């Protein structure tokens, strides 16, 4: 094919591409215009958008919570199987004026404990069985207090709502910008074909498209960062509340340190594991939890400000091991 014929064919492709994209952009714009014309009054519209965002987030949170418990590879622990553990939870819940949560014990790949749900239904505590071998009774109690603090603050719900509302706002902005994105994409592609350089995306329309798409992505990232920052603050708040309720910040500090060490992989490809410590700022900003070192240091400072405390033996006691075996 001669160069002239190629340029003519490329120009024809560019015109067709432009027509397709502009048609799609006009269709979406007309659809959005029709929706906007049929909108209610602005206060009502804002109320509907807020209600829709909150409602969908709430439904997603409730369904997600139920799915976590349904898919949990563990057992609900009745009181007669672990009476001492239940008494500890009862005492902590009473001090924090909380409804009594359900207790589940699971066999996970790493030592862990987490709280699910909350509010009037009390939620649930999920504890990995290995914690009873790894931690002393006081340290187990500190971890329980930390997770109960999350239930007390209804942290899971609050963080899910903040994250859901942020994502909904970015989604609305993306829908509003969709006609412009389609038009700019068509103009960028068509201009490249007409110039005889189909793969070239250095023109002004391509730069405008990247700028608009980048702005929307930045909004998504910002919403995620705000949600993750809130999550890390709630971890600190739960640490403080657990130290206040148990009166033993060092027990929680030791428990966090033991759990982190036990969770560190020892296999040859450990540097590639997600459990490794990182100095990367972006990873820290996107993390839902602050670093264990930072949490431990805060707890040590809190202990020092309270004055000397009685030292608890570092190793798990026989009663703790027996409790762990009784839940098998």
Which residues, in sequence order, are CB contacts of 104 under 8 Å at separation 6+?
Answer: 69, 72, 74, 75, 76, 77, 124, 125, 126, 127
Classify burial at 69, counting beta carbons within 10 Å of its beta carbon; exposed 0-12, middle 13-18, buried 19 or more.
middle
* Closest to 241 in 3D by CA, of 90, 84, 93, 87: 93
In this structure, are strands 102-106 and 113-116 parallel, antiparallel, or unpaired?
Answer: unpaired
Alpha-carbon gap, residue 60 to 160, rounded angstroms: 9
Judge whether 283 counts as a catalytic residue.
Answer: no
Contact (CB, 8 A) for 291 and 278:
no
Torsion of CA 102, 107, 109, 112, to 10 degrees: 30
Q: Which of 141, 147, 152, 235 is catalytic?
A: 147
Contact (CB, 8 A) for 181 and 126:
no
DSSP helix/strand/coil, 291: coil
Output helix, strand, coil percentages for the chain, rounded to the nearest 5.
Answer: 70, 5, 25
State the DSSP code for 317. P
Q: Between helices 318-326 and 137-152, what is the axis angle to 10°?
A: 60
Alpha-carbon gap, residue 235 to 124, rounded angstroms: 18
DSSP helix/strand/coil, 255: helix
The two structure tokens encoding residue 264: 């560190």
The two structure tokens encoding residue 66: 């139920």
Alpha-carbon gap, residue 143 to 137, rounded angstroms: 10
Catalytically active residues are 147
């Amino acid at each position: 094919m001669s160069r002239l014929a190629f340029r003519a064919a490329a120009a024809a492709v560019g015109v067709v591409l432009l027509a397709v994209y502009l048609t799609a952009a006009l269709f979406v714009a007309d659809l959005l215009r029709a929706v906007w014309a049929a909108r209610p009054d602005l206060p009502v519209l804002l109320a509907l958008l807020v209600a829709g965002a909150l409602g969908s987030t709430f439904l997603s949170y409730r369904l997600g919570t139920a799915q976590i418990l349904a898919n949990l590879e563990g057992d609900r622990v009745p009181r007669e199987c672990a009476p001492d553990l239940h008494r500890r939870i009862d005492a902590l819940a009473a001090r924090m004026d909380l409804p009594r949560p359900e207790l589940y014990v699971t066999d996970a790949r790493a030592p862990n404990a987490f709280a699910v749900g909350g509010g009037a239904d009390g939620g649930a505590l999920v504890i990995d069985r290995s914690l009873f071998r790894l931690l002393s009774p006081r340290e187990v109690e500190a971890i329980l207090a930390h997770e109960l603090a999350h239930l007390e603050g209804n942290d899971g719900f609050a963080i899910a709502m903040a994250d859901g509302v942020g994502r909904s706002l970015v989604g609305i902005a993306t829908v509003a910008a969709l006609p412009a994105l389609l038009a700019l994409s068509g103009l960028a592609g068509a201009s490249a074909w007409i110039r005889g350089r189909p793969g070239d995306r250095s023109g002004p329309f391509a730069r405008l498209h990247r700028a608009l798409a980048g702005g929307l992505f930045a909004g998504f990232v910002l919403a995620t960062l705000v949600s993750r920052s809130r999550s890390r603050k709630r971890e600190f708040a739960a640490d403080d509340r657990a130290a206040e309720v148990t009166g033993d910040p060092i027990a929680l500090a030791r428990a966090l340190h033991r759990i982190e060490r036990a969770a560190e992989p020892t296999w040859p490809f450990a540097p590639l594991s997600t459990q490794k410590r990182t100095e990367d700022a972006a990873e820290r900003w996107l993390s839902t939890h602050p670093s264990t070192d930072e949490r431990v240091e805060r707890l040590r400072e809190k202990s020092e400000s309270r004055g000397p405390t009685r030292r608890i033996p570092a190793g798990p006691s026989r009663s703790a091991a027996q409790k762990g075996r009784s839940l098998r």
